[in-house]
Amino acid sequence: MLPTSDEVSRDDIARIEARVEELAAAIENCRKISLAAKIAVTAGAAWLALTVLGLVDFVPSLAVAALAAIIGGVVLLGSNATTWTQTATDMQASEVLRTDMIERLALRPVDEPRKLLH
Protein backbone atom coordinates (compact mmCIF):
# COMPACT_ATOMS: atom_id res chain seq x y z
CA MET A 1 0.00 0.00 0.00
CA LEU A 2 1.39 3.40 -0.99
CA PRO A 3 1.72 6.02 1.72
CA THR A 4 -0.41 9.13 1.42
CA SER A 5 1.14 12.55 1.25
CA ASP A 6 0.18 13.09 4.92
CA GLU A 7 2.09 9.98 5.97
CA VAL A 8 5.16 11.06 4.01
CA SER A 9 4.94 14.51 5.58
CA ARG A 10 4.60 13.00 9.03
CA ASP A 11 7.68 10.86 8.38
CA ASP A 12 9.56 13.94 7.25
CA ILE A 13 8.46 15.80 10.37
CA ALA A 14 9.57 12.86 12.52
CA ARG A 15 13.00 12.92 10.85
CA ILE A 16 13.31 16.65 11.44
CA GLU A 17 12.28 16.24 15.08
CA ALA A 18 14.95 13.56 15.47
CA ARG A 19 17.47 15.97 13.95
CA VAL A 20 16.40 18.71 16.39
CA GLU A 21 16.93 16.30 19.29
CA GLU A 22 20.41 15.40 17.98
CA LEU A 23 21.28 19.08 17.71
CA ALA A 24 19.99 19.73 21.23
CA ALA A 25 22.26 16.95 22.50
CA ALA A 26 25.19 18.47 20.61
CA ILE A 27 24.47 21.87 22.18
CA GLU A 28 24.41 20.24 25.61
CA ASN A 29 27.84 18.72 24.86
CA CYS A 30 29.09 22.14 23.80
CA ARG A 31 27.88 23.55 27.12
CA LYS A 32 29.81 20.87 29.01
CA ILE A 33 32.97 21.44 26.96
CA SER A 34 32.68 25.18 27.53
CA LEU A 35 32.44 24.64 31.28
CA ALA A 36 35.48 22.34 31.26
CA ALA A 37 37.49 24.86 29.23
CA LYS A 38 36.57 27.67 31.62
CA ILE A 39 37.62 25.53 34.57
CA ALA A 40 40.96 24.77 32.89
CA VAL A 41 41.64 28.46 32.22
CA THR A 42 40.66 29.43 35.75
CA ALA A 43 42.72 26.67 37.37
CA GLY A 44 45.77 27.49 35.28
CA ALA A 45 45.51 31.20 35.98
CA ALA A 46 44.96 30.58 39.69
CA TRP A 47 48.02 28.34 39.89
CA LEU A 48 50.19 30.93 38.14
CA ALA A 49 48.84 33.68 40.41
CA LEU A 50 49.60 31.61 43.51
CA THR A 51 53.11 30.98 42.19
CA VAL A 52 53.75 34.65 41.42
CA LEU A 53 52.47 35.69 44.85
CA GLY A 54 54.82 33.16 46.43
CA LEU A 55 52.04 31.20 48.13
CA VAL A 56 53.23 27.99 46.47
CA ASP A 57 56.74 26.98 45.49
CA PHE A 58 57.77 27.46 41.87
CA VAL A 59 57.89 24.13 40.10
CA PRO A 60 58.74 24.51 36.39
CA SER A 61 56.66 21.53 35.24
CA LEU A 62 53.58 22.82 37.10
CA ALA A 63 54.07 26.31 35.66
CA VAL A 64 54.23 24.85 32.15
CA ALA A 65 51.12 22.75 32.87
CA ALA A 66 49.30 25.86 34.11
CA LEU A 67 50.24 27.76 30.95
CA ALA A 68 49.16 24.80 28.81
CA ALA A 69 45.82 24.70 30.64
CA ILE A 70 45.28 28.40 30.00
CA ILE A 71 46.23 28.26 26.33
CA GLY A 72 44.36 25.00 25.71
CA GLY A 73 41.28 26.29 27.49
CA VAL A 74 41.20 29.49 25.46
CA VAL A 75 41.61 27.58 22.19
CA LEU A 76 38.91 25.12 23.21
CA LEU A 77 36.55 27.95 24.16
CA GLY A 78 37.01 29.59 20.76
CA SER A 79 36.55 26.40 18.79
CA ASN A 80 33.60 25.31 20.91
CA ALA A 81 31.91 28.70 20.56
CA THR A 82 32.00 28.36 16.77
CA THR A 83 30.57 24.85 16.91
CA TRP A 84 27.90 25.94 19.39
CA THR A 85 26.85 28.86 17.17
CA GLN A 86 26.68 26.70 14.03
CA THR A 87 24.72 23.99 15.84
CA ALA A 88 22.26 26.51 17.29
CA THR A 89 21.76 28.02 13.82
CA ASP A 90 21.12 24.55 12.34
CA MET A 91 18.70 23.76 15.15
CA GLN A 92 16.77 26.97 14.61
CA ALA A 93 16.54 26.31 10.85
CA SER A 94 15.31 22.77 11.50
CA GLU A 95 12.66 24.04 13.91
CA VAL A 96 11.45 26.58 11.34
CA LEU A 97 11.29 23.84 8.69
CA ARG A 98 9.37 21.55 11.07
CA THR A 99 6.88 24.30 11.90
CA ASP A 100 6.40 25.05 8.20
CA MET A 101 5.78 21.38 7.41
CA ILE A 102 3.28 21.04 10.26
CA GLU A 103 1.39 24.08 9.00
CA ARG A 104 1.23 22.57 5.49
CA LEU A 105 -0.44 19.43 6.82
CA ALA A 106 -3.71 21.37 7.11
CA LEU A 107 -4.69 19.66 10.34
CA ARG A 108 -8.27 20.02 11.41
CA PRO A 109 -9.16 20.81 15.00
CA VAL A 110 -10.84 18.11 17.02
CA ASP A 111 -14.27 19.09 18.28
CA GLU A 112 -14.51 19.52 22.00
CA PRO A 113 -16.81 17.01 23.65
CA ARG A 114 -20.13 18.37 24.75
CA LYS A 115 -20.41 19.13 28.42
CA LEU A 116 -23.38 17.47 29.99
CA LEU A 117 -25.03 18.98 32.99
CA HIS A 118 -25.67 16.46 35.75
User: What's the chain look like in SS3?
Assistant: CCCCHHHHHHHHHHHHHHHHHHHHHHHHHHHHHHHHHHHHHHHHHHHHHHHHCCCCCCCHHHHHHHHHHHHHHHHHHHHHHHHHHHHHHHHHHHHHHHHHHHHHCCCCCCCCCCCCCC
Each residue's pLDDT tens digit, 40-68: 999 999 999 999 999 999 999 999 999 99
The yes-or-no verdict on residue 8 having pLDDT over 60 is no
Please provide the average confidence, as pLDDT, over all residues in the chain.
Answer: 87
pTM, full prediction: 0.72
pLDDT at 86 over 50: yes
Domain boundaries, the chain: 5-104
Mean pLDDT for the stretch of residues 79-98: 93
